Structure 1
């Protein structure tokens, strides 16, 4: 005899609260609990796809054993609540067509029940969803996070349960509790066989060296040139430095040609995706396209970053360095836009309104380029905004907002004198010192400590706020001492 719907939900809620209390108590922040109860006489599988995983293959989340019309088979899984998930229930082990599917952003610490049963009249499979416990109201998503998937599988309620831990996270040994990537070695273990060659400081050093060398060669002593031609005076900040513009355009042309025309074995030309399970698993070894291929060819796979951000979400197996060779070209282009802003301030220093107008014009121009190349979408454009690839649209989009923000700050601080920039000017004038200091001391007290409450964002938030405040205070003391570390 089939179990009535209301009775089934009541019985399942009791089973969850009694038999899975250990799993429930393990919930940390950004985690929720899902229990699947199946009355079908065959196994069923629950698959998922993250909303942020572009064109991804559904991944197996858990498998529920066969049940009966009188007794359900149950399985419980802890999921991440960071992104909207597309869920699918399929018969068997996961290769069949889904019998039901839905999209939902599960909320932190919520306990959700999925009841899978056959309709008594039509024999169709029904997936009925409910909440056993309401989620907590937490909307602070910028604290450090951990993703995990812990599965508890079992047969009918009378049988014993077994625990299977499935970790869906980047290797914990490579991250501190605050989520910052640390060096995966100790001084006694350093070896050139696998030492990483690219890096943030390496990229900054090469970028500024290239832009500074170029500007040193073509800089002008007299910025107050003749303005005999009105059209030339309107674009004096460009005309005076035409050799620099030629070099930058040539560099960007090289980036475009290598990115979209370089043949990469096993990958389509111009591939910009993450590989792995992305693009429906067609190109699993094409992580980063030409950028990844060039890094492995020039530096060797052992000398680039092995834990890119796409590794966890897209299940990639290839190393990829976000500070690689090809992306450094566009970082130089971005630095050039900063140089251009400085030229505008110096050339039109006697006319603040002209400075603001040019900042606005450049912001609109770069914003239009971004809108066209991205088609105003996240993933569907010609060149999506991608920080790891340091794509052209990443450069134009950030430069667009940088011109807008710089114009606003210029007006508030330099024109109207409403604000002096404190306290941001203190770490800003010693940014390299703060960066290196945090890299060396970020894992020590008082910047970091052992987290006691993993169920809330608040201790992580307090840790981050205190660490930031301490570095601002240190940089203020250095500012008072007139100590500035430069590269």
Structure 2
């Protein structure tokens, strides 16, 4: 595959990381535009697309990285080591706030997280890709989405009551997290990166693998093929949502289909612009995408440092910068909050540019 086509994936990966940093670092959570927040429960906002997009792109990367790999102990070792690195980085971020470096209480340490889920999903998806052809992967994906719907919607709880798709405690995703993770969750009643919802998130990655196979297999009119697949996923996902609502926390089957559809659609547009029309587009996003995990980790780590480091008695670095630089402007509170996030984004885009120009690629 030509470098330009791989660049298309890097651009989409970079856009995803930039969007992730944008929604994670507002000036104040009290004033944020609605599209930059997750849906309260059922529903879909632009912010809800970001994490599934990244898992989808992980799948595309697996398709290229492991297409000629043999099923040897060396290959498995690399997969497991990379997965453990990602999980370890995620646990470090959870440990850092508020316990690191003085661990005083582990009873409420959050165990799940974004990087932990990426590590687990990468491991399972890579192994499946090494052992299965595209037909098996597609069949397994469809079967899993249907079984997941059946289990969450119809399998009774131990006391005989039927589950719902509502918030805790009457759905299986929250029930399992509460009984296994207990206090080690993001919220007292649920975790968006919990145990059971990791299963359908693997399917998001597998769909990325299948699209990677499309990019490698079709020589002409790839953008048309991608567009057709995108429309098919979107239509099926929105129809399915009548029975299984679109929900990020549950990572519902309709959520998998719809978010994958949007990912393929945007990829087809980027591919058409960069590869078919040969228009130089999104170079800065490509720079960020080349070191995606590194930049995401640094943004999360530095953000936590800013929140933890006190300035005076009642403020931290984050609140001090926002109040004294951004909140003093003539802009509305929401725009001031967004402006802070945009400045943070520009900083990491510049960092990505510098790393790329110096040919520094930090692989996790």
TM bin, normalised by shorter chain, reads 0.5 to 0.7
> What CA distance in whole angstroms lies between the structure 2 residues aligned with 1:29 and 1:328?
31
- Matching residue of 1:91: none
- Matching residue of 1:437: 298
Alignment of 1:200 with 2:93, yes or no, is: no
Alignment of 1:242 with 2:135, yes or no, is: yes
Q: Unmatched 5+ residue regions in structure 2?
A: 1-29, 33-38, 43-95, 307-316
- Matching residue of 2:208: 338
Note the 1:48-447 alignment, pairs <5 A. Answer: 183-218=97-132, 241-264=134-157, 269-275=162-168, 285-286=169-170, 289-297=171-179, 299-306=180-187, 318-348=188-218, 350-351=219-220, 353=221, 355-374=222-241, 381-442=242-303, 443-444=305-306
> What CA distance in whole angstroms lies between the structure 1 residues aligned with 2:40 and 2:334?
25
> What CA distance in whole angstroms lies between the structure 1 residues aligned with 2:115 and 2:296?
10
> What CA distance in whole angstroms lies between the structure 1 residues aligned with 2:263 and 2:299?
25
- Matching residue of 1:483: 360
Query: Do the aligned partners of residues 341 and 448 (structure 1) sit closer, same or farther apart at CA in structure 2, a change above 3 Å counting?
Result: farther
> What CA distance in whole angstroms lies between the structure 2 residues aligned with 1:187 and 1:257?
44
> What CA distance in whole angstroms lies between the structure 1 residues aligned with 2:319 and 2:210?
37
Q: C-alpha displacement at 1:303, in angstroms?
A: 1.8
Please state whether the residue corresponding to 1:304 is helix, strand or coil. coil
> What CA distance in whole angstroms lies between the structure 1 residues aligned with 2:121 and 2:154?
24
The one-character-per-residue Cα deviations of 1:93-135 (angstroms, maximum 9, x if unpaired) are xxxxxxxxxxxxxxxxxxxxxxxxxxxxxxxxxxxxxxxxxxx
Q: C-alpha displacement at 1:211, in angstroms?
A: 0.8
* Structure of larger gyration radius: 1
Query: Do the aligned partners of residues 481 and 255 (structure 1) sit closer, same or farther apart at CA in structure 2, a change above 3 Å counting?
Result: same
TM-score (norm 1): 0.49
TM-score (norm 2): 0.64
Query: Do the aligned partners of residues 267 and 323 (structure 1) sit closer, same or farther apart at CA in structure 2, a change above 3 Å counting?
Result: farther
Query: Do the aligned partners of residues 417 and 249 (structure 1) sit closer, same or farther apart at CA in structure 2, a change above 3 Å counting?
Result: same
* Number of aligned residue pairs: 260
Contact 2:322 2:340 in 1 (8 A): no
Contact 1:260 1:270 in 2 (8 A): yes
User: Which of 459, 467, 483 matches 2:336?
Assistant: 459
> What CA distance in whole angstroms lies between the structure 2 residues aligned with 1:477 and 1:199?
28
Query: Do the aligned partners of residues 415 and 191 (structure 1) sit closer, same or farther apart at CA in structure 2, a change above 3 Å counting?
Result: same
- Normalized per residue, the structure richer in strand is 1
Please state whether the residue corresponding to 2:234 is helix, strand or coil. helix
Q: C-alpha displacement at 1:413, in angstroms?
A: 0.2
Report the RMSD for the aligned CA atoms in angstroms: 2.8
